[in-house]
Amino acid sequence: MSNIELSQIDRTVIGADGGLPSQSSDKSRASADRLGARGLLLLSWLAPVLLVIVWEALAQAGSLSPQVLPAPSKVIRTAYKLVTTGTLLNDLGVSLLRAAAGFALGSAVGGALGILVGFSRIAEAVIDRSVQMIRAIPFLASLPLVIVWLGVGEAEKIFLVALGVTFPIYINTVLGIRQVDPKLLELGRVQGLSSLQLIRRIILPGALPSILTGVRYALATAWLALVVAETIGAQSGIGFLAMDAREFLRTDVIILTIVIYALIGIAADSIARLLERRLLAWHPNYGAAR
């Protein structure tokens, strides 16, 4: 169990600043100092902006077929048109609602099971093996089965998202509870805390960093699940928009949906990070400075 978990955590941690760990030789640090933080920030935007400019120029010059890669300006115009006259906002709302419902369901189940197993060795013996066995299945592989059970509809999509969310939340909740420092639990007993107070004042706060790591990973999985579910069969939603556009070779709309998926992924991650900064203000690795 631990190998996969660790790699998950590593991935999220590396993704945390959205960049590579900063490691530089003295020489390169000296020239970086001359640029300053603002200069470095500007520099980091150079390549993506240049890429978009080159893309736009090639498209304008007619070197790129609009069916292969329409100009960025065209994608923006399409976005505007779809917002004002089309159903983009409605589709976006439908997609977000599905993600939210699946996330709520999955985190409730994962969290409840995680708390149960975290606290009780008996619950662990009863539950953990089954959960680990189901977890071994790449959850997207269960999609055909889910469609047979629930058909192609809202239930199937929400179920798939919930399935993807349950396991990261479960694992990190169990891990978090088990990692609480036994010396602090001992202190709680010395101070005369009841079991309930012990949970509220020591165990849950102690488990929170791990649980939030789970939340962050679950947000990414939820989004992935939603994209897959909406691509397979949907009558509304961002994924439906993309598949519908594919029928008519509207590459601009397809690119737009991809960009929207990316933006929402970034937004979800930002929310998770905001939560961490708020709830883990005490933690040296997360909190704002003193």
Binding footprint of another protein on the chain (CB under 8 A): 183-184, 186-193, 197, 201-202, 205-206, 208, 280-284, 287, 290
Closer to another protein by CB, 20 or 196: give it.
Answer: 196
CA-nearest of 53, 59, 75, 62 to 242 is 75
Task: Provide the minimum distance between the beta carbon of 278 and another protein in the complex, in angstroms, as a whole number.
Answer: 12
Closer to another protein by CB, 9 or 202: give it.
Answer: 202
Residue 120 Rama label (left phi>0; alpha psi -120 to 50; beta): beta
Task: Provide the minimum distance between the beta carbon of 173 and another protein in the complex, in angstroms, as a whole number.
Answer: 17
Closer to another protein by CB, 208 or 264: give it.
Answer: 208
Closer to another protein by CB, 48 or 192: give it.
Answer: 192
Task: Provide the minimum distance between the beta carbon of 268 and another protein in the complex, in angstroms, as a whole number.
Answer: 25
User: Which residues, 6+ apart, have CB-to-CB distance to 211 below 8 Å?
Assistant: 111, 114, 169, 172, 173, 176
- How far apart CA 161 and CA 140 sit, in angstroms, is 10
Complete DSSP assignment for 24-74: --HHHHHHHHHHHHHHHHHHHHHHHHHHHHHHHHHHHTT-S-TTT---HHH
Task: Provide the minimum distance between the beta carbon of 94 and another protein in the complex, in angstroms, as a whole number.
Answer: 39
Task: Provide the minimum distance between the beta carbon of 204 and another protein in the complex, in angstroms, as a whole number.
Answer: 10
Task: Provide the minimum distance between the beta carbon of 118 and another protein in the complex, in angstroms, as a whole number.
Answer: 17
**Sign of CA pseudo-dihedral 47, 49, 55, 60:** negative
Closer to another protein by CB, 73 or 179: give it.
Answer: 179
Residue 152 φ/ψ, nearest 5 degrees: -95, 100
Closer to another protein by CB, 10 or 186: give it.
Answer: 186
Q: Cα–Cα distances in Å, from 68 out to 60, 252, 253?
A: 13, 9, 12
Distance of CA 248 to the CA centre of its chain: 31
